[in-house]
A and B are shown apart, each in its own frame.
Chain A
Amino acid sequence: MANAPGAPATPSVSSLAFGAHLEAHLDADVLVLGGGPAGTWAAIAAATAGARTILADKGFCGTSGATAASGTTLWYVDPDPAKRAAAKAAREGLGGHLADHGWMDRVLDRTHAAVGQLADWGYPFPRDADGRDRRVSVQGPEYMRLMRRRVKQAGVTILDHCPALELLVDDGGAVAGAAGVRRQKGGRWAVRAKAVVIATGGCAFLSKALGCNVLTGDGLLMAAEAGADLSGMEFSNAYAIAPAFGSVTKTLLYQWASFTRADGAVIPGAASKGGRSVIARVLATEPVYARLDRAEPELWAAMRQAQPNFFLPFDRAGIDPFTQRFPVTLRLEGTVRGTGGLRLVDETCATAVPGLFAAGDAASREPICGGFTGGGSHNAAWAMSSGHWAGQGAADHARALGNGARNLRRAGGAGLREGKGASIDAAALTRAVQAEVFPYHINYFRTEEGLTGALARLDRLWSNAAGAAPSPADGSLRAREAAAMLATARWMYRSALARTESRGMHRRLDHAALDPAQRHLLTVGGLDEVHVSARPAPLHPDPSGATRELAA
Chain B
Amino acid sequence: MIELISPTRCTGCNICVSICPMDVFQAVGGQAKGAAPTIARQADCQTCFLCEAHCPDDALYVAPDAETVTGIAEDAVAAAGLFGSYRRAIGWSTGHRDNRSADQTFRLLAPH
From A6-14, A137-145, A381-389, A415-423, the one touching the partner chain is: A137-145
A124 cross-chain contacts in B, Cβ below 8 A: 91, 100-101
Q: Would you call B101 and A126 a contact (CB within 8 A)?
A: yes
Whether A305 sits at the interface, judged by CB under 8 Å, is yes
Whether A214 sits at the interface, judged by CB under 8 Å, is yes
User: Which residue of chain A has its CB nearest to the CB of B54?
Assistant: A63
Whether B109 sits at the interface, judged by CB under 8 Å, is yes
Find residues 26-85 in chain A having any chain B CB closer than 8 Å to their own CB. Answer: 58-60, 62-65, 68-69, 71, 73
Q: Could you tell me the distance between the alpha carbons of A128 and B105 in the complex, rounded to whole angstroms?
A: 11
**A160-B18, A214-B46 provided; 10 other pairs, C-beta below 8 A?**
A134-B106, A137-B103, A183-B23, A208-B46, A212-B46, A214-B22, A246-B47, A301-B104, A303-B104, A306-B103
Find residues 77-112 in chain B having any chain A CB closer than 8 Å to their own CB. Answer: 80, 82, 85-86, 89-92, 99-109, 112
A315 cross-chain contacts in B, Cβ below 8 A: 82, 85
Q: Could you tell me the distance between the alpha carbons of A62 and B48 in the complex, rounded to whole angstroms?
A: 13
Q: Report the minimum CB–CB distance from B65 to chain A (whole Å).
A: 5
A210 cross-chain contacts in B, Cβ below 8 A: 46-48
Q: Which of A69, A139, A302, A308 contacts B107 (CB 8 A)?
A: A302
Find residues 297-333 in chain A having any chain B CB closer than 8 Å to their own CB. Answer: 299, 301-309, 311-317
Q: Report the minimum CB–CB distance from A349 to chain B (whole Å).
A: 24
Q: Which of B44, B47, B91, B101 contacts A247 (CB 8 A)?
A: B47
Q: Could you tell me the distance between the alpha carbons of A139 and B100 in the complex, rounded to whole angstroms?
A: 8
Q: Would you call A127 and B46 a contact (CB within 8 A)?
A: no
Q: Report the minimum CB–CB distance from B31 to chain A (whole Å).
A: 21
B104 cross-chain contacts in A, Cβ below 8 A: 126, 301-303, 305-306
Q: Mark B9-25, 1 if CB is under 8 A from A, else 0.
A: 00000000111111100
Q: Which of A69, A214, A305, A312 contacts B103 (CB 8 A)?
A: A305
Q: Would you call A309 and B49 a contact (CB within 8 A)?
A: yes
A243 cross-chain contacts in B, Cβ below 8 A: 64
User: Which residue of chain A has its CB nearest to the CB of B98?
Assistant: A124
- Listed in ascending order, the chain B residues whose CB lies under 8 Å from chain A are 17-23, 44, 46-50, 53-54, 63-68, 80, 82, 85-86, 89-92, 99-109, 112
User: Which residue of chain A has its CB nearest to the CB of B100?
Assistant: A124
B23 cross-chain contacts in A, Cβ below 8 A: 59, 161, 183-184
Q: Would you call B103 and A211 a contact (CB within 8 A)?
A: no
B47 cross-chain contacts in A, Cβ below 8 A: 208, 210, 246-247
Closest A-B pairs by Cβ, 5 of them: A59-B21, A313-B64, A308-B89, A69-B48, A137-B105
B49 cross-chain contacts in A, Cβ below 8 A: 69, 309, 312
Q: Report the minimum CB–CB distance from B3 to chain A (whole Å).
A: 10
User: Which residue of chain A has its CB nearest to the CB of B108?
Assistant: A306
Q: Could you tell me the distance between the alpha carbons of A169 and B86 in the complex, rounded to whole angstroms?
A: 45
Whether A407 sits at the interface, judged by CB under 8 Å, is no
Q: Would you call B67 and A136 a contact (CB within 8 A)?
A: no
Q: Could you tell me the distance between the alpha carbons of A500 and B80 in the complex, rounded to whole angstroms?
A: 54
Q: Would you call A316 and B92 a contact (CB within 8 A)?
A: no
Residue picked from A71, A139, A160, A301, most chain B C-beta under 10 Å: A139
Q: Would you call A211 and B48 a contact (CB within 8 A)?
A: yes
Q: Could you tell me the distance between the alpha carbons of A249 and B106 in the complex, rounded to whole angstroms?
A: 20
Given known A184-B23, A312-B86, contact A127–B103 (CB-CB < 8 A): no
Q: Which of A299, A307, A309 contacts B105 (CB 8 A)?
A: A307
Q: Would you call A309 and B67 a contact (CB within 8 A)?
A: no
Q: Could you tell me the distance between the alpha carbons of A301 and B106 in the complex, rounded to whole angstroms?
A: 13
User: Which residue of chain A has its CB nearest to the CB of B53?
Assistant: A141
Q: Could you tell me the distance between the alpha carbons of A137 and B105 in the complex, rounded to whole angstroms?
A: 7
Q: Could you tell me the distance between the alpha carbons of A141 and B90 in the complex, rounded to whole angstroms?
A: 8
Find residues 164-222 in chain A having any chain B CB closer than 8 Å to their own CB. Answer: 183-184, 208, 210-214
A73 cross-chain contacts in B, Cβ below 8 A: 105, 109
Q: Could you tell me the distance between the alpha carbons of A302 and B110 in the complex, rounded to whole angstroms?
A: 12
User: Which residue of chain B has its CB nearest to the CB of A124?
Assistant: B101
Q: Which of B44, B54, B67, B89 contacts A245 (CB 8 A)?
A: B67
Q: Report the minimum CB–CB distance from A115 to chain B (whole Å).
A: 13
User: Which residue of chain B has its CB nearest to the CB of A140?
Assistant: B50
Q: Would you call B101 and A213 a contact (CB within 8 A)?
A: no
Q: Would you call A308 and B86 a contact (CB within 8 A)?
A: yes
A246 cross-chain contacts in B, Cβ below 8 A: 47, 64-66
Q: Could you tell me the distance between the alpha carbons of A208 and B82 in the complex, rounded to whole angstroms?
A: 22
B18 cross-chain contacts in A, Cβ below 8 A: 60, 160
Q: Report the minimum CB–CB distance from B97 to chain A (whole Å).
A: 9
Q: Would you call A306 and B22 a contact (CB within 8 A)?
A: no
Q: Could you tell me the distance between the alpha carbons of A435 and B20 in the complex, rounded to whole angstroms?
A: 28
Q: Would you call B64 and A213 a contact (CB within 8 A)?
A: no
Q: Mark A441-456, 1 if CB is under 8 A from B, else 0.
A: 0000000000000000
User: Which residue of chain B has its CB nearest to the CB of A212?
Assistant: B46
Q: Would you call B67 and A316 a contact (CB within 8 A)?
A: no
A59 cross-chain contacts in B, Cβ below 8 A: 20-23
B44 cross-chain contacts in A, Cβ below 8 A: 213
Q: Report the minimum CB–CB distance from A295 to chain B (whole Å).
A: 9
Given known A124-B100, A312-B64, A316-B82, contact A214–B107 (CB-CB < 8 A): no
Whether A539 sits at the interface, judged by CB under 8 Å, is no
Q: Could you tell me the distance between the alpha carbons of A127 and B48 in the complex, rounded to whole angstroms?
A: 27
Whether A252 sits at the interface, judged by CB under 8 Å, is yes
Q: Could you tell me the distance between the alpha carbons of A492 and B109 in the complex, rounded to whole angstroms?
A: 32
Q: Could you tell me the distance between the alpha carbons of A73 and B23 in the complex, rounded to whole angstroms?
A: 28
Whether A125 sits at the interface, judged by CB under 8 Å, is yes
Q: Could you tell me the distance between the alpha carbons of A448 and B68 in the complex, rounded to whole angstroms?
A: 36
Q: Mark A374-409, 1 if CB is under 8 A from B, else 0.
A: 000000000000000000000000000000000000
Q: Report the minimum CB–CB distance from B56 to chain A (whole Å).
A: 13
